[in-house]
Amino acid sequence: MTQINWMEEVLKRKDDYLKQTIELLNIESVYDEATITKEAPMGKGINEALTYMLNLGEKDGFIPKNVDGFAGHLEMGSGEELVGILCHLDVVPAGDGWSHDPFDAIIKDGNIYARGAIDDKGPTMAAYYAMKIVKELGLPINKRVRMILGTDEESQWRCVDHYFEKEEMPTMGFAPDADFPIIYAEKGILDINFKQMQLNEDNESEYKLVSFSSGRRVNMVPDYAKAIVSGPSFDQEAFTKHISELGCKAQVSEENGHQVLAVEGVSVHGMEPDKGKNAGIALASFLNQFEFNVNADRFLKFIVENFKGDSRGKNMGVAFNDDITGDLTINLGIMQYEENNGGSFGLTLRYPVTTDIDFVITTLTERGSKYSFEFNEIKNSKPHHVPKDHPLIQTLQKVYEEQTGEEATLLTIGGGTYARSLSAGVAFGPLFLGKPEVAHQKDEYAEIDDLLKAIAIYAQSIAELVK
């Protein structure tokens, strides 16, 4: 395939790629319970994004299929074997503090800014254009190639669960939803909830926690926290100093005669919490210095004693590490408390390939009960890895090295990509080594030149895999 100048083919289609990427990014494809229907099981916006891609593919000559609104695919080629390219069209909520409308994509200084620019709409359209190039060049295709379009990757993966109940499992494939060169191993993902079990009668205390709220998703580090408190006035200077020392910003106001304490942190993907600043933990750390009623006290202590300064599970008694995928990590992504209903927490735990997960679950259950919180498992996605000598990895390494001139080092990840739903699947780009990780952050962006390079890499990879 070396006679084809893949980047030249990409540049011929650059304007169309950017136009259609912007159109896709401008669809607010966030999970929305309020607009769920039989045809749109994840809500109106996500269904609109799925429909957009299926219509685009049909117009360009691919065979489209909508699988009950949960997912879809675009297919080309023929043969017994099936190469899968697993993408997702849903995005996390925008969050606060954007410099512009997160669903009105803009191009500035060589970047494209919007929610989903790098996770995962920009890369999805890059993989689509790679398929389009291979198709339009009329290259020999001795296998089928199928782009699978998921709609629920950012929450419960109901899309791929439903899809593979109805559709064929690819022989091998890749997900353009992480880092280059190649991610061959992914940690397990355990999403859990803790709910305050037994509420005690309100006791006399200096302060009363009316409410506490931080975080929207377990897989995001919360960038905002708010507590409404009754009681003596806090020292605003001390509050600001405490929060500042934890890398966050503080604000105090009044609401219906109560003090309102707000904290602004830094949101990042929950697979590596230390790269962000958890606003909820910072706020709980300050409040935990004061006397509250027993229910609020247990809520605050659960946060501070287990998670302040520790994302590795040491305080919870579940720390673990292996040579394949590194440290276990925990992200406290949701913290909620209401005076009359008690508290609850949502966590995502990313655990190494060789972890004894039964021990972890038992230990977490016991740890939660110490604070009168009940453990509930939401979802457990087991670890995934592909042997280093597998033909898929060998092919992708060869292409990456030819395209970039750099060694195709094999990586591991704490995040979960659709690649783990395949017996032989890897995550493959689009983020190049050394580039900042901005997925799930405010002002998310993708570098246009890098997306174009990714198209060239994906196009050659597809051509090599289907020979």
Catalytically active residues are: 90, 153
In angstroms, the CA 420 to CA 279 distance is 31
Query: Pick from 151, 164, 125: which is nearest to 32 by CA?
Result: 151
Tokens standing for 459?
Answer: 């196009």
Both ends of the chain: CA-CA distance in Å? 10
Sign of the Cα torsion 18, 22, 23, 28 reads positive
Between the alpha carbon of residue 142 and those of residues 62, 314, 332, the distances in Å are 16, 51, 47
Residue 19 parent element (H or E): helix 14-25
Tokens standing for 109?
Answer: 């200084």
- The set of residues, in sequence order, having a beta carbon less than 8 Å from that of 152 and lying 6+ positions away, is 31, 42, 46, 70, 88, 90, 158, 159, 160
Query: Pick from 412, 457, 401, 391: which is nearest to 83 by CA?
Result: 391
Query: Pick from 317, 311, 322, 319: which is nearest to 347 by CA?
Result: 311
Query: In this structure, how many other beta carbons lie within 10 angstroms of the beta carbon of residue 226?
Result: 18
Between the alpha carbon of residue 305 and those of residues 223, 284, 315, 342, the distances in Å are 20, 10, 7, 18
What is the crossing angle of helices 448-465 and 14-25, to 10°? 110
In angstroms, the CA 307 to CA 463 distance is 47
- The set of residues, in sequence order, having a beta carbon less than 8 Å from that of 217 and lying 6+ positions away, is 92, 93, 154, 155, 270, 333, 334, 346
Contact of 441 with 273, CB cutoff 8 Å? no
Q: Which residues pair with 255 in a beta bridge?
A: 258
Q: What is the dihedral of CA 458, 464, 466, 467, to 10 degrees?
A: 160
Residue 404 parent element (H or E): helix 391-404
In angstroms, the CA 148 to CA 67 distance is 10
Contact of 339 with 210, CB cutoff 8 Å? yes
